[in-house]
Each structure stands twice: as C-alpha cells, then as structure tokens.
Amino acid sequence: MRPVRWVPFGRVNPQGRQNRLVSAEGDPAVECGVADVDVAVTWHDRGGSLTGSVTVRNISRHACRVTGKPGVIPLGDDGAPLDVQTVITLELRRPDHVVLEPGEDARAPINRGGWNGAPAGDQAIVVWGRDRHRTQVTVRGSRQPHSRAEPTNISSSWFRIAR
C-alpha cells in the first residue's frame, strides 16, 4: 500500500469549516477507522419510544472522515445480536461525509419506535463508513423502548459536526 500524500485544500465544506487537508487524489482525509475514534450510543425515553444519537470522536492525531449513516445492532442480555433492523433512508447528501479534526465530534440522530422481542442488554454494535467499520459499545441511557407497538426497527440519519 502506498502512502497518501496530503496537500492544502482551501474550499469551505458544507459545515462552514475549511477543509485543512486533502489527499493528492482529491479525497478529504481518510476514513475514520476503529482505532481513530471513540464511539458512543445514547438513548432517551420519549413516551415509550427512544430517541438518541451515535457520537463519534476523533481520537487520532490526523483529520479523518465519517461517511454515511450509522447502523446500530442492539445486543441482548446474552450478548447475541437482537433481530432489529436499522433503516437507512435514501435521501441524497453531498458530500456524504463529515471531516473530523483531532478531538472533534460528529453526531447522527437515531430513533427506535418499539420492541416486542428478547430483552436488550447494555451493549450494541455500531457500523459506519464505506468500509463498514464495526465496534461494540456500552449503551448509555435506556436499553429498549417500553412500547411494544410497531415499528420495531431503528432509523438513523447523517452524521453532522457536533457543536
């Protein structure tokens, strides 16, 4: 694998920040991998359903990008994945990523309407990026919705720079 050569890049990205680095091939930063970020899932009870966020913090020494929308796979008390689908809607956004400077956070909103299956534990797997990076995290807040009504899936939206 050849090293990536970085050059200055002066355009302002949609978040209103100037991209500081871009590869010679034109890609802003490299995709944030598991070793580059801390990931957290936080849920809040909202009348029986859950709303929350996936937060990604760049802990590396270089800028990296987080692409797309996250997938969240709740794990049961036994550590096995629950049969919960993450719905990724297809609205277009250009660019399809955010660039995180070292120490910077991005958040993606997540929602979960109901659940009528096995009890959720305090762990979940988060999946993100074009390379489908995966990491297991401890869930903060409520573990599962109190509502037993449909839908029982999770929906997520685009990552945005946290302010």
Mean pLDDT of the chain: 84
Q: Give the per-residue pLDDT at 131.
A: 86
In a domain, 45, yes or no: yes
Helix-then-strand count for the chain, H and E: 0, 14
Q: For the CA atoms of 93, 99, 104, 109, what is the dihedral angle to 10 degrees?
A: 20
Cβ partners under 8 Å of residue 145, min gap 6: 45, 48, 49, 50, 112, 113, 114, 115
In a domain, 104, yes or no: yes
Distance CA 71, CA 81 (A): 13
In a domain, 128, yes or no: yes
In a domain, 78, yes or no: yes
Q: How far is CA 87 from CA 111, 128, 138, 157, in A?
A: 10, 13, 21, 9
What DSSP line would sit under 107-137, residue for residue?
Answer: EEEEEE----SSPEEEEEEEEETTTTEEEEE
- DSSP one-letter code for 36: G
In a domain, 59, yes or no: yes
Contact at 8 Å (CB) between 82 and 45? no
Q: Which domain holds residue 157?
A: 35-161
* Its pTM surpasses 0.85: no
Structural domains of the chain, count: 1
In a domain, 143, yes or no: yes
Find the CATH number of the domain harbouring 85.
2.60.40.10
In a domain, 95, yes or no: yes
**pLDDT tens-place string over residues 19-51:** 444 444 455 578 999 999 999 999 999 999 999
In a domain, 10, yes or no: no
Check pLDDT > 80 for residue 17: no
